[in-house]
Amino acid sequence: MLLKTKKQTYDLQTNTHIMGILNVTPDSFSDGGKFISQDEAIKQAVLMEKQGAHMIDVGGESTRPGHEPVAANEELDRVIPVIKAIREKVNVPISIDTYRAETARQAIEAGADIINDIWGAKKDPEMAAVAAEFQVPIILMHNRTNKQYGSLLEDMKNDLRKSVEIALNAGVAKDNIILDPGIGFAKTVEHNFLVMNELEKISALGFPLLLGASRKSFIGHVLDVPADARDNGTGATTCLGIVKGANIVRVHDVKMNVELVKMMDAMLKRGKLNTKWIK
């Protein structure tokens, strides 16, 4: 199970990988406005790479509940200069978090290596074609316009199978498809906990699994803390996610989650045990 990009090839079965979140938006739910300037965005990207992030996910539109969609040209104005600047400063792959095909295209031309689509190639009919044209990995997230399910996990699997079908029919290589269960999207609090406890059923679809639970509201529901104080709770989702089959975790706090991932992988005997750990 390899993730191949222009910059790196990762063995996703050997070790769990970290995707650092870089929101260049004024209104993201936990860090809106912190990295909207290009200088701050570059500093954060460099820091995340230094802390051990394997890839960096750049987003130009908030996806928090009740967010105001931005115009396509505004999204481009936010992300393209940042991706170009970051590409000169970091060596890890860059992911573009967008559901617009034109944004994905221009981001790849600017230096991005991965497409991260919260609508699983269903919102923009050209998205899968862009991934196929540039032969880049695409993350297909589970999402829908309502929270009405007959059987939550079965419906999710069917929704994700449809996204996979769209991608394959457009010419995306099977090895370039990653699935995301979409924690916090079109799901109640109870749904999110059920999905977390049954992630292995999504992993069983046969594609690498990305978990994006960082600072989500279901954590706040339990801990009763604001979004920027949910990193400990996020760490719990990271650990459970690894046990349940997650190959990549998408997080805000890279340093803490790198340490958690290393420890979990060591205890689960994933990867080559570093002998310096043994005294």
Please check the confidence at residue 183 and state whether its pLDDT lies above 70. Answer: yes
pTM confidence score: 0.93
Q: Nearest-5° angle of CA 39, CA 41, CA 47?
A: 105
> What mean pLDDT comes out for the span 261-267?
95
* Of 66 and 150, more confident: 150
Q: Mean pLDDT throughout 82-103?
A: 97
157: which residues sit within 8 A by CB, 6+ positions away? 201, 202, 205
Q: Copy the structure tokens of residue 90.
A: 């970091």
Span 4-15, pLDDT tens digits = 998 899 999 889
Query: β-pairing, 177-180 with 210-211?
Result: unpaired
Q: How far is residue 8's CA from residue 43's CA, in Å, rounded to a whole number?
A: 21
216 is catalytic: yes
How confident is the model at residue 29, as a pLDDT?
A: 46
Q: How would you classify the pairing of strands 94-97 and 55-59?
A: parallel
- Rounded to whole angstroms, the Cα distance separating 194 from 201 reads 11
Q: Which residue in this structure is represented by tokens 């009740």? A: 66
> What pLDDT is recorded for position 34?
59
Catalytic residue among 105, 157, 187, 250: 250
Known catalytic residue at 122: no
Question: Residues 157, 216, 230, 244: which is the catalytic one?
Answer: 216
| CB 139 within 8 Å of CB 210 | yes
Average pLDDT over every residue of 232-239: 98
Does residue 30 register a pLDDT over 70? no
Backbone angles phi, psi at 28, to 5 degrees: -65, 155
Q: Transcribe the chain into DSSP letters.
A: -EEE-SS-EEETTTS-EEEEEEE--S--TTTTTTT-SHHHHHHHHHHHHHHT-SEEEEESS--STTPPPPPHHHHHHHHHHHHHHHHTT--S-EEEE-S-HHHHHHHHHHT--EEEETTTT-SSTTHHHHHHHHT--EEEE---S----SSHHHHHHHHHHHHHHHHHHHT--GGGEEEE--TTSS--HHHHHHHHHTHHHHHTTSS-BEE--TT-HHHHHHH---GGG-HHHHHHHHHHHHHTT-SEEEES-HHHHHHHHHHHHHHTT-SPPPGGG--
In the structure, what pLDDT confidence band is assigned to residue 37 with cuts at 50, 70 and 90?
A: confident
CA–centroid distance for 248 within its chain? 8
